[in-house]
C-alpha cells in the first residue's frame, strides 16, 4: 500500500518540527517521506501481538541523585553562547501581544 | 622513524621510555596533518596551540611519575559531536557552527585523565546522520585509501584521520554503525561497546537509546587500550551500566586464544546485495579463526531485514526530539531576519540544518504525531524486542557472530545521497547490533580489486567485549 | 433561560520543596539573579543528561498516599514535545503513560455542610519551565531558566466539582495535605501551587458533559472564583445564542477579569509523547512503599482531634490552628516548652491572627520561634510584665523574633517589685491629689481607680496593679 503524503501533512509536520521548507524541498520531502513509509510498512508483516515494546535494552532501574546542591553559577560561560543576551537573560522575540 | 605512523600504544611506550617527547609526538602528527589534510578534510577544528601547551603539562606529569598509563602523552582526535570545554563542537552543522561547550564529555575527561592530548575535532555526517560523511556542513571527508571514495560515516573524519596517520587514534560514536562501517571502509579497527559502557554525558545525542561512543584505532591492541581508558560507570548518565571492576580491564583480553570459541555465521548476511569480494574476504577471515581452533558454523539469524525500518523509526523519533533544542535561543545559529518567535524558530532551523537532518526530523516528528504513534513507534519498539530475542537465541549457541560490516566497499563520492533508502540499506549488518545494545568490533580483513579495504565484524553478547577483543586480536596476529 | 450546571475538573501543579531540581544539582531557591541557578542540564545544553532526584519520587508517593491513590509500581518518564522559549530542550520531561499515582480522591465539605468526594484521576511528576519576562521598552522577551527543572507534581482531578466554592474547598484541602507532608509550601501567589480550571456547562439533568475549556494563569483563590464565574457565564451565553463551545485553552487576565483563547496556528497541541530514553524506569517495591507510608505525618483531622483531647482547647481554636501546618507546628513546639496549651492557643488565635491580617501575611509566613513565644508566656505568668506590655513585646517577637527576656530587661519594662519605691510614689500621688483622696473617703470607689491609674502612669506601667491597690488602701 503506497503512502501518499499530502501538502497538508508536510505543512503540519513542519509546524511540529519548526521547519519551513521551500517549494522544492516540500516536493522532495513528500516523495522521501512517502518512500520511507512504504519501506517502513514492511514491519506490518511481523506479528507483534502480545510483544512488550522495548524501550530500554537492559533492566537497569532506579538510578537516582540525592537531593544535594552540587552546581554553582556558570551563567557567564553559558550565556556567552547565546545569539542575543541582555542583563543575564536570553533574548527572544516577544512571546505576548 | 616516522612517528606519525606509530600506533597509540607503540608511541605511548616510546614516550614512557623517553625515546620520544610528547612535544615531538604532537609536532609529528601536525606535520602529517599539514601535508595531507588539504586533501582529506578529516577535521573540522584543529587545536595545535592548545595541544602544544598541553604537551608541556603532560610531559611534566610523565616525568614526575603522576602519569604512567599506556596513553600518556599520546595525541587523539575527537569526533565533533563530543563536547570539549571551550573548543568548538559543531556536529558538522551550521546550526552549531559557533558553539563552545562549557564542559567536556565524560569520555574526553577520561582520556585527559589518562594523559591524552586533544589535537582536534573530526568531521562527521551532520549530527551523525549519514553513512558517508558527505552531509557535513564543512564539506565531505575523503577516503585516504583512495580520495575518490567516501570514508564512510558518520564517524568518517575519525576513521579517515586514523587511516591517514593524521592522528594516533580517535573517538567515534555509533548509533547504527557509525564507528564500524567507516572503520571497514578505511581499513582501521573500530569498536562499538555494549550500550551503557562508555558514558554518553557530553555526547550530543542523535538517537539516545542507540548512541554509544567507542575507539577507532590502528590495531586491536590500541582498541582495547583506548576502550579501557574511556569506559566507566558515570552517575551523570542514567543509562550507564555499572560493571564488575575486572570487566573494565579490556587489555587483559589481548591474548591469542580462540580454541573452542563458537562462531556463528548468519546465512542471511551473505544473501542478496552483498559484494562477492566482501563475502569472500569475510569468510576467509572466519577460516583463519577456524584454523586457530575456533568452531565455525553457519546458522539462520531471523528478522535481519526488519532492523532497518525499526531503526529509522526509533532513531528519527528520538532525533526529532533531541534536536528540538537547536532553536536559535540559547546557543548556535540564529537567522538574521525574522518576524516573531515562530518565524525565528523556523528560519533558524531551516537554514541551520542540512537536508538529511531535516529529512529525519520530519520523519521522526511524523511517526510520533497524533494517530501514528502506535502504528510506527510502538511497532518499532516491539520489533526491537523481537530482534533482541533473536540475538539472545543465537548467543545461547555461539560466543560470537561473524559477518561483514557493510555489504560493499566504500562508494564513490557523490553517489549515495540521491537515494536515501539505498544508503540506509548499507547499514543492514550494523544496525541490529545497536537495537539490541550489543558490542561489535570491525577489523580489516583485506582489500577489493580497487584496493579499497574490507572489514570483518564480530558481534558479541552484551558485556562480552573481552571475547571480541580476544578473537579480533588472534585474527589480527594470524594474518 | 434554562438552568445550567457547571462541571469542573482541576489540574493542579505543585512545586515540590526539594533543595535541588528534579534532574540536576541546581538549587531550587526562589529569586536569585537571572540564569544563576542553572547548569547544562536545566538550560538544555547539548550533551547534558538528566538524573532523577530521589526525593521527588518520595514526595510524589507521599502525596499520592495521602490522597488515597494507588501507587504505580513501575514508573516511566515521557517526553512532551513542544517549542517555547521557557522550555530549554523544547521538550518537557513528564509522565503520560505511567503516572506515579492514580485513582485516588479526597473528601471536601460542601457549602450546605455536607461531604463530597472529589476523585483524583492521577498524579504525575514533571519538570517546571523557566520564566519569561516581557521587555516593555524593546520588542522582545527575556528568558530566565532559574525555575527550569524545579520539580512539579501535577494532580489531575476528575470533573467532580460543581461550583467555585467546591473548587476552593478542594484546593484548600489539597494545600493542607501537601503542607502537612512538607512536600511544598503551596503558595498560589508565588506560583508554588497553580491551578488550571477545566470547565464545561450542561443543562441540569443532562447525562453528557458539555465541551470543556481549560483556563490558565490563576494566581489566587479570588482569581479562581472570578474566572469560574466568568467562564460559566461565557459558555452559557454561547449556548443560549445557539452557538457551540470550542475546546480550547484560555488565559485569564485578573486585572481585566476576562479570559482570552491562547490559540495559534503554530500551536498544534500535538505533543508527540514518547518514553524518555535518557532515564530508566523507577520501580517501587513494597519495602520502599512501606517506608514512605511509615513516615507519613499526622494530618489535620487527627491533629484536630488530638488537640481537643490532649490539650483541652476549644474545637474552634483547634480548627484555626490546624488550618495551617506552620501554625500547628508552632503551637506544639511552644506548648512542649511552656506546657500551657491554652495560653499558647490564645496568643496564636488573637494576636498572631491579628498581626497576620494587619500585614496581609499567610500563616506560612510566620517567622518567630516557639522559644520566644514560650518565654513571653512565662514572663506574663510570673507577673513580670503586664498584659499591655506583653502585647507590645509580642509585636516585636512577631516582626523580629526578639528574645523577650532580653528585650524586657533592656527596655526596663519589668514590673517593679520594690515596695519601698512603690510606696514613696504612692505617697507623692496622694499628696498631689487631695480632692481624689477626699472623694475616696466620702465613699466614691471610682476615685481609687483614678489614683491607681496615676500611680501606674508614674511607674511607667512597670507596677503590679494588685500591689498598688494594696498599698493605696493601707495609706489611705
- What's residue B290's pLDDT? 98
Specify whether the CB–CB gap between B278 and B407 falls below 8 A. yes
CB atoms within 10 A of CB B6: 21
Query: Over its length of 97 residues, how does chain A's per-residue pLDDT go in tens digits?
Result: 578 899 999 999 999 999 999 999 999 999 999 999 999 999 999 999 999 999 999 989 999 999 999 988 888 889 999 999 999 999 999 987 6
- The CATH number that applies at residue B235 is 3.90.1300.10
Is the CB of C83 less than 8 angstroms away from the CB of B327?
Answer: yes
Q: Which of B195, B355, B421 sits opposite A35 (nearest CB)?
A: B421
- Whether B439 is in a domain gets the answer no
Would you say residue B72 has pLDDT above 80?
A: yes
Q: Choose the closest CB to B238 out of A18, A36, A63.
A: A63
Asked whether the beta carbons of residue B208 and residue C91 sit closer than 8 angstroms, the reply is: no
**Chain A residues closer than 8 Å to B210 by CB:** none
Q: Where are the domains of chain C?
A: 4-289, 298-411, 419-475
| C267 vs C218, more confident | C218
Give the whole-angstrom CA distance, residue B135 versus residue B146: 19
CATH topology of domain C419-475: Arc Repressor Mutant, subunit A (1.10.10)
The pLDDT score that the predictor gives to residue C471 is 83
pLDDT of residue C415: 75
Task: Tell me, yes or no, whether B249 lies in a domain.
Answer: yes
pLDDT of residue C432: 86
Other residues' Cβ atoms within 10 Å of the Cβ of residue B294: 23
pLDDT in tens, B332-358: 999 999 999 999 999 999 999 999 999
CB-side neighbour CA atoms (13 Å) of C244: 4
Q: What is the pLDDT of residues C49-94, one digit of tens each?
A: 999 999 999 999 999 999 999 999 999 999 999 999 999 999 999 9
Is B436's pLDDT higher than 60?
A: yes
- Look at B370 and C51 and tell me if their CB atoms are within 8 Å: no
pLDDT at C442 over 90: no
Question: Does C268 sit within 8 Å of A74, measured CB to CB?
Answer: no
pLDDT of amino acid A97: 61
Give the residue among C101, C96, C119 at the shortest CA–CA distance from C65: C101
In a domain, B60, yes or no: yes
Query: CA angle, B183 as apex, B181 and B185 as ends, to 5°?
Result: 70
**Scanning every residue of chain C, which has its alpha carbon at the shortest distance from the alpha carbon of B328?**
C85
State the pLDDT at residue B200: 98
DSSP structure string for B183-243: HHHHT-EEEEPPTTSS--TTBPPSSTTT-EEEEEESSHHHHHHHHHHH----TT-TT----
The model's confidence at residue C2, banded by pLDDT at 50, 70 and 90, is confident
**Strand ranges across the sheet with B262-266:** B43-46, B117-122, B75-79, B169-174, B212-217, B189-192, B440-447, B453-460, B400-404, B262-266, B295-299
Q: Whole-angstrom Cα distance, residue B215 to residue B228?
A: 10
pLDDT digits (tens, 9 = 90+) for B168-226: 999 999 999 999 999 999 999 999 999 999 999 999 999 999 999 999 999 999 999 99
What dihedral do alpha carbons C261, C266, C272, C277 form, nearest 10°? -110
> Considering only CB atoms, which chain C residues are within 8 Å of A79?
35
* C chain contacts of residue B316, beta-carbon cutoff 8 Å: none
- Smallest CA–CA separation between C143 and chain B, in Å? 9
Mean of per-residue pLDDT scores for chain C: 92
Q: Does A29 touch chain B (CB under 8 A)?
A: yes
Q: What is the model's pLDDT at position C468? A: 82
Number of C-beta neighbours around residue B49 at 10 A: 8
Chain C residues touching residue B324 (CB < 8 angstroms): 81, 83, 89-91
Judge: C46–B331 Cβ closer than 8 Å, yes or no: yes
Nearest residue in A to B437, CA atom: A57
Give pLDDT, residue C417: 65
Residue positions of B annotated with a catalytic role: 79, 154, 178
Statement: residue B421 has pLDDT above 90: no
Higher pLDDT, C182 or C454: C182
> What integer is the mean pLDDT of B112-137?
98
Cβ atoms C33, A88 nearer than 8 A: yes
Closest to B50 measured CA to CA, from B122, B123, B118: B118
- Neighboring chain B residues of A93 at a CB cutoff of 8 Å: 338, 340-341, 343-344
Q: Give residue B348's pLDDT.
A: 98
Higher pLDDT, C251 or C136: C251
A46 contacts B386 by C-beta, under 8 angstroms: yes
pLDDT (0 to 100) of residue C439: 87
Residue of A69, A79, A94 lying closest to C141 (CB–CB): A94
In this complex, the residue of A52, A55, A58 whose CB is nearest that of residue B241 is A58
d(Cα C475, Cα B412) in Å, to the nearest integer?
123
Helix (H, G, I), strand (E, B) or coil at C261: strand
Q: What is the pLDDT of residues C128-152, one digit of tens each?
A: 999 999 877 888 999 999 999 999 9
Closest-CA residue of A relative to C139 is A94
C-alpha dihedral (B182, B183, B186, B187), degrees to nearest 10:
-160
Q: Kindly determine whether residue A53 and residue B381, on different chains, have CB atoms separated by under 8 Å.
A: yes
Residue A78 to chain B, least CA–CA distance (Å): 6
| Distance of residue A57 Cα from the nearest chain C Cα, in angstroms | 10
The DSSP symbol for B87 reads: B
> Out of A20, A57, A81, whose CB is closest to B330?
A81
The answer to whether C229 touches C237, Cβ cutoff 8 Å, is no
Tell me whether residues C51 and B235 touch, CB distance under 8 A: yes
Residue C28 phi/psi, 5-degree rounding, is -95, 5
Q: Residue B181: inside a domain, yes or no?
A: yes
pLDDT attached to residue C451: 86
Which stretches of C218-340 are DSSP H helices? 221-240, 286-294, 300-306, 315-322, 325-338
- In-domain check, residue B26: yes
**B361: nearest CA in chain A?**
A17
Residue C267 confidence (pLDDT) above 80: no
**Lowest pLDDT segment from A5-19, B60-74, C228-242, C421-435:** C421-435
Closest approach of A94 to chain C, Cα-based (Å)? 4
From chain C, the residues in CB contact with B327 under 8 A are 83, 85, 90
Distance from CA of A34 to the nearest CA of C (A): 20
Q: Which CATH number fits domain A7-45: 1.10.20, 3.40.50, 2.40.30, 1.10.3470?
A: 1.10.20
* Angle, in degrees to the nearest 10, between helices B465-478 and B220-230: 160
Q: How far is B82 from chain C (nearest CA, A)?
A: 7
Q: B392 to chain A: which residues are within 8 Å by CB?
A: none
Decide if A6 touches B, using CB distance below 8 A: no
Q: Is the pLDDT of residue B245 over 60?
A: yes
pLDDT value for A31:
93
Quick check: B329 contacting A, CB < 8 Å?
yes
pLDDT at site C138 = 82
How confident is the model over C143-165, as a mean pLDDT?
Answer: 97
Q: Which of C360, C416, C346 is nearest to C385 (CA)?
A: C416
Q: How far is CA C396 from CA B170, C132, C357, C369, C393, in A?
A: 69, 39, 16, 12, 5
Tell me if chain B has a CB within 8 Å of the CB of A94: yes
Give, as one character, the DSSP assignment of residue C246.
P
Measured between alpha carbons, how far is B196 from B382 in angstroms, rounded to an integer? 21
Question: CB pairs below 8 Å between A and B: how many?
Answer: 152
Please give the pLDDT value at position B99.
97
pTM metric for this prediction: 0.91
With contacts defined as CB-CB under 8 Å, which chain A residues touch B313?
40
Over residues B400-414, the pLDDT tens digits come to 999 999 999 999 999
Q: In terms of residue numbers, what domain contains B24?
A: 3-253
pLDDT at C465: 77
CB contact under 8 A, C27 and A69: yes
How is chain A split into domains, by residue range? 7-45
Nearest to B324 among C51, C91, C274 (CB): C91
How do residues B459-478 score in pLDDT, each as one tens digit?
999 999 999 999 999 999 99
A15, A63, A74: residue with CB nearest C39:
A74
Nearest chain C residue to A65, by CA: C53
Q: Does A34 touch chain B (CB under 8 A)?
A: no
Residue C409 has a pLDDT of 85
Distance from CA of A42 to the nearest CA of C (A): 22
pLDDT of residue C103: 98
- The chain-wide mean pLDDT, for chain B, equals 97
What's the structural domain count of chain B? 1
C contacts of B82 (beta carbons < 8 Å): 47
Query: Which of C282, C264, C210 shows the shortest CA–CA distance to C23?
Result: C282
With beta carbons less than 8 A apart as the criterion, state whether B457 and B242 touch. Answer: no
ipTM of the complex: 0.97
Amino acid at each position: 500500500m503506497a503512502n501518499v503524503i499530502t501538502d497538508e501533512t508536510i505543512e503540519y509536520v513542519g509546524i511540529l518540527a519548526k521547519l519551513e521548507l521551500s517549494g522544492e524541498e516540500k516536493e522532495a520531502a513528500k516523495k522521501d517521506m512517502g518512500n520511507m513509509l512504504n519501506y517502513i510498512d514492511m514491519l506490518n508483516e511481523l506479528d507483534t501481538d502480545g510483544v512488550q515494546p522495548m524501550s530500554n535494552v537492559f533492566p537497569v532501574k532506579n538510578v537516582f541523585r540525592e537531593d544535594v546542591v552540587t552546581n554553582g553559577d556558570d551563567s557567564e560561560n553559558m550565556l556567552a553562547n547565546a545569539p542575543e543576551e541582555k542583563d543575564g537573560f536570553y533574548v527572544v522575540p516577544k512571546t505576548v501581544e | 622513524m616516522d612517528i606519525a605512523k606509530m600506533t597509540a600504544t607503540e608511541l605511548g611506550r616510546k614516550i614512557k621510555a623517553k625515546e620520544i617527547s610528547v612535544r615531538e609526538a604532537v609536532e609529528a602528527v601536525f606535520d602529517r596533518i599539514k601535508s595531507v589534510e588539504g586533501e582529506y578534510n578529516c577535521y573540522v577544528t584543529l587545536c595545535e596551540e592548545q595541544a602544544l601547551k598541553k604537551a608541556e603539562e603532560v610531559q611534566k606529569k610523565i616525568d614526575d611519575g603522576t602519569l604512567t598509563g599506556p596513553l600518556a602523552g599520546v595525541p587523539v582526535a575527537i569526533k565533533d559531536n563530543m563536547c570539549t570545554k571551550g573548543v568548538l563542537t559543531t556536529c558538522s552543522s551550521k546550526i552549531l557552527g559557533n558553539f563552545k561547550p562549557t564542559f567536556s564529555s565524560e569520555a574526553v575527561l577520561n582520556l585527559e585523565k589518562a594523559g591524552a592530548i586533544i589535537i582536534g575535532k573530526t568531521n562527521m555526517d551532520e549530527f551523525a546522520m549519514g553513512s558517508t560523511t558527505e552531509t557535513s556542513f564543512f564539506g565531505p571527508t575523503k577516503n585516504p585509501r583512495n580520495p575518490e571514495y567516501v570514508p564512510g560515516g558518520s564517524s568518517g573524519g575519525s576513521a579517515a584521520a586514523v587511516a591517514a596517520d593524521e592522528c594516533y587514534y580517535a573517538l567515534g560514536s555509533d548509533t547504527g554503525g557509525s564507528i564500524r562501517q567507516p572503520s571497514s571502509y578505511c581499513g582501521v579497527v573500530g569498536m562499538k561497546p555494549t550500550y551503557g559502557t562508555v558514558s554518553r554525558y557530553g555526547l550530543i545525542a542523535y538517537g539516545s537509546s542507540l548512541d554509544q561512543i567507542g575507539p577507532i584505532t590502528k590495531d586491536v591492541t590500541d582498541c582495547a587500550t583506548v576502550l579501557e581508558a574511556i569506559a566507566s560507570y558515570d552517575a551523570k548518565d542514567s543509562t550507564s551500566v555499572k560493571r564488575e571492576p575486572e570487566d573494565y580491564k579490556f587489555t587483559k583480553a589481548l591474548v591469542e586464544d580462540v580454541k573452542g570459541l563458537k562462531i556463528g555465521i548468519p546465512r542471511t548476511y551473505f544473501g542478496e546485495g552483498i559484494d562477492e569480494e566482501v563475502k569472500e574476504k569475510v569468510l576467509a577471515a572466519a577460516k583463519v579463526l577456524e584454523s586457530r581452533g575456533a568452531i565455525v558454523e553457519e546458522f539462520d539469524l531471523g528478522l535481519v531485514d526488519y532492523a532497518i525500518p525499526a531503526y529509522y523509526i526509533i532513531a528519527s523519533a528520538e532525533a526529532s526530539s533531541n534536536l528540538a533544542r537547536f532553536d536559535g535561543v540559547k546557543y548556535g545559529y540564529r537567522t538574521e531576519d525574522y518576524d516573531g518567535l515562530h518565524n525565528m524558530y523556523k528560519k533558524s532551523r531551516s537554514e541551520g540544518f542540512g537536508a538529511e537532518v531535516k529529512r529525519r526530523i520530519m520523519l521522526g516528528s511524523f511517526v510520533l504525531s497524533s494517530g501514528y504513534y502506535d502504528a510506527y513507534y510502538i511497532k518499532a519498539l516491539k520489533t526491537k524486542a523481537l530482534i533482541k530475542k533473536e540475538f539472545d537465541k543465537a548467543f545461547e549457541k555461539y560466543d560470537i557472530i561473524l559477518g561483514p560490516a557493510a555489504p560493499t566497499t566504500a562508494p564513490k563520492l557523490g553517489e549515495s545521497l540521491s537515494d536515501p533508502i539505498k544508503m540506509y540499506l548499507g547499514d543492514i549488518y550494523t544496525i541490529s547490533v545497536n537495537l539490541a545494545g550489543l558490542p561489535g568490533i570491525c577489523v580489516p580483513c583485506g582489500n577489493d580489486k580497487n584496493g579499497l579495504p574490507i572489514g570483518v565484524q564480530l558481534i558479541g553478547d552484551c558485556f562480552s567485549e573481552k571475547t571480541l577483543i580476544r578473537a579480533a586480536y588472534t585474527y589480527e596476529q594470524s594474518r | 433561560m434554562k438552568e445550567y450546571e457547571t462541571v469542573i475538573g482541576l489540574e493542579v501543579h505543585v512545586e515540590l520543596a526539594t533543595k535541588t531540581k528534579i534532574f540536576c544539582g541546581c538549587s531550587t531557591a526562589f529569586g536569585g539573579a537571572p540564569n544563576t541557578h542553572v547548569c547544562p542540564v536545566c538550560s538544555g545544553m547539548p550533551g547534558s543528561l538528566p538524573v532523577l532526584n530521589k526525593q521527588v519520587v518520595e514526595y510524589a508517593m507521599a502525596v499520592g498516599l495521602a490522597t488515597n491513590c494507588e501507587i504505580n509500581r513501575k514508573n516511566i518518564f515521557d517526553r512532551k514535545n513542544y517549542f517555547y522559549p521557557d522550555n530549554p530542550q523544547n521538550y518537557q520531561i513528564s509522565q503520560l503513560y505511567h503516572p506515579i499515582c492514580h485513582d485516588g480522591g479526597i473528601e471536601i465539605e460542601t457549602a450546605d455542610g455536607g461531604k463530597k468526594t472529589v476523585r483524583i484521576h492521577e498524579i504525575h511528576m514533571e519538570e517546571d519551565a523557566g520564566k519569561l519576562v516581557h521587555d516593555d521598552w524593546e520588542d522582545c522577551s527575556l528568558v530566565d531558566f532559574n525555575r527550569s527543572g524545579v520539580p512539579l507534581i501535577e494532580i489531575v482531578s476528575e470533573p467532580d466539582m460543581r461550583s467555585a466554592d467546591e473548587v476552593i474547598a478542594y484546593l484548600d484541602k489539597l494545600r493542607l495535605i501537601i503542607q502537612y507532608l512538607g512536600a511544598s509550601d503551596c503558595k498560589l501567589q508565588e506560583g508554588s501551587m497553580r491551578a488550571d480550571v477545566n470547565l464545561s456547562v450542561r443543562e441540569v439533568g443532562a447525562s453528557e458533559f458539555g465541551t470543556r475549556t481549560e483556563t490558565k494563569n490563576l494566581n489566587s483563590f479570588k482569581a479562581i472564583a472570578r474566572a469560574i464565574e466568568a467562564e460559566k457565564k461565557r459558555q452559557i451565553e454561547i449556548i443560549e445564542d445557539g452557538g457551540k463551545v470550542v475546546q480550547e485553552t484560555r488565559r485569564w487576565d485578573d486585572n481585566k477579569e476576562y479570559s482570552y483563547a491562547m490559540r495559534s496556528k503554530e500551536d498544534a497541541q500535538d505533543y508527540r509523547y514518547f518514553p524518555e530514553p535518557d532515564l530508566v524506569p523507577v520501580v517501587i517495591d513494597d519495602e520502599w512503599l512501606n517506608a514512605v507510608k511509615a513516615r507519613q505525618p499526622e494530618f489535620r483531622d487527627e491533629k484536630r482531634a488530638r488537640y481537643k483531647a490532649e490539650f483541652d482547647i476549644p474545637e474552634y481554636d483547634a480548627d484555626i490552628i490546624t488550618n495551617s501546618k506552620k501554625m500547628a507546628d508552632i503551637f506544639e513546639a511552644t506548648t512542649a516548652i511552656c506546657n500551657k496549651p491554652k495560653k499558647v492557643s490564645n496568643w496564636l488565635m488573637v494576636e498572631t491572627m491579628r498581626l497576620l491580617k494587619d500585614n496581609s501575611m499567610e500563616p506560612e509566613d510566620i517567622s518567630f520561634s516557639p522559644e520566644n513565644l514560650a518565654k513571653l508566656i512565662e514572663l506574663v505568668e510570673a507577673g513580670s510584665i503586664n498584659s499591655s506590655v506583653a502585647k507590645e513585646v509580642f509585636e516585636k517577637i512577631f516582626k523580629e523574633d526578639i528574645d523577650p527576656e532580653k528585650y524586657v530587661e533592656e527596655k526596663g519594662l519589668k514590673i517593679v517589685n520594690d515596695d519601698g519605691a512603690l510606696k514613696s510614689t504612692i505617697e507623692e500621688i496622694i499628696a498631689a491629689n487631695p480632692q481624689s483622696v477626699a472623694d475616696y473617703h466620702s465613699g466614691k470607689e471610682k476615685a481609687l481607680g483614678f489614683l491607681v491609674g496615676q500611680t501606674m502612669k508614674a511607674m511607667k506601667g512597670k507596677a503590679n496593679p494588685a500591689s498598688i491597690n494594696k498599698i493605696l488602701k493601707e495609706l489611705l
